[in-house]
Amino acid sequence: MKVRKAVIPAAGMGTRFLPATKSMPKEMLPIVDKPVLQFVIEEAVESGIEDVLVVTGRGKQAIENHFDYNPDLESFLEGAGKHDLIDQVRDIGDRVQIHYIRQKEQLGLGDAIRLARYHMGGEPFAVLLGDTIIDPPAGQKPGLQQLLEAFESTQSSVVAVHRVPMEWVSRYGVVDGAPEDGNPNLLRLRKLVEKPAVEAAPSNLAIAGRYVFTAEIFDCIDRTSRGVGGEIQLTDAMNLLAQDAPVYALAWQARRFDIGNRVEYAKCFLEYALRREDTGPKLREFLSQMLAQ
């Protein structure tokens, strides 16, 4: 079955990024001039997704406004002859169907995904964390597209993982699994271990913020009781799923920027700004002068 729909959870409180997130969704933080969530939706569209459900909550109206038309802004730009900017402010909202649903209480990622049940109508679907940018090496396919290809070959739920230095494993959900069918990058998942101690970690393969699920995940979320912090943890639901059905982990080369983390956000901003022709050369010059001092 082809995956046509995706859910993007973006209802979290963003407490690691206060005070910026007091009145602004962290998913709308800019990387130079484009909000993080726009990168995420572009990845979905470039991977062939036709329909996106964004899970929002209180104080997240900026998300809906960003992907909507803005007639005042557009007529202002028209008057100023800035036609290229009109195309830019309209573009992404025109390229995909975007729907919204509100999570009334921030009960965790599992709960946010559960809200997508009726929208998905029994079809397999993708999940992209709204605060995570995936950056594949030059020339490679978008992250979600790689995952969708793994889904097409396995017809099973699949989660993206990336290798992290062993001393970092205790910050992540980590995979316990074994390669199957001679592909060293596709592992059959035994279980996911949330933030293991270095000595107890089954691997250094950390969950990367992109998933494809069959509809069975919803029953598993329903069977998941509240875990750490009173939240319904997606990893707990995935462990239930792995007991009932095959679940795979795709180890990819792509880098992951979790922009809810301040250092990761700063790294992502700098890296993308350095890559761009309009900002890169001047910024590189500034940075080398600054670092030489």
Residue numbers at the binding site for ligand UTP (CB under 6 A): 9-17, 27, 55, 103, 106-109, 111-112, 129-131, 260
- How many H-runs (helices) and E-runs (strands) does the chain carry? 11, 13
- C-alpha–C-alpha distance, residues 268 and 209, integer Å: 16
238 and 248 in contact (C-beta within 8 Å)?
Answer: no
Closest CB to ligand UTP: residue number: 12
227 or 246, CB closer to ligand UTP? 227
The neighbouring-strand residues paired with 73 are none
- Give the distance, in angstroms, between the CA of residue 211 and the centroid of all CA atoms in the same chain: 9
Number of Cβ within a 10 Å radius of residue 25: 27
Q: Which is nearer to ligand UTP, 12 or 124 (CB)?
A: 12
**Cα–Cα separations (whole angstroms), residue 293 to 61, 141, 261, 274, 286:** 43, 40, 28, 20, 11
CA distance 26 to 14: 6
Q: Which is nearer to ligand UTP, 114 or 242 (CB)?
A: 114
Enumerate residues 6+ apart whose C-beta is below 8 A from 256: 132, 133, 134, 135, 162, 208, 209
Nearest CB to ligand UTP, comparing residues 186 and 254: 254
Q: Tell me how far, at minimum, the Cβ of 249 lies from ligand UTP, in Å.
A: 19
Say which residues have a Cβ less than 8 Å from residue 16's Cβ, sequence separation at least 6. Answer: 260, 261, 262
Nearest distance in Å: CB 78, ligand UTP? 34
CB of 183 to ligand UTP, least distance (A): 29
Which residue's CB is nearer to ligand UTP, number 180 or number 222?
222
Output 187 or 208, the one with its CB closest to ligand UTP: 208
CB of 139 to ligand UTP, least distance (A): 28
Report d(CA 47, CA 69) in Å as an integer.
Answer: 24
Min dist. Cβ of residue 57 to ligand UTP (A) = 7
Minimum CB–partner distance for residue 209 and ligand UTP (Å): 8
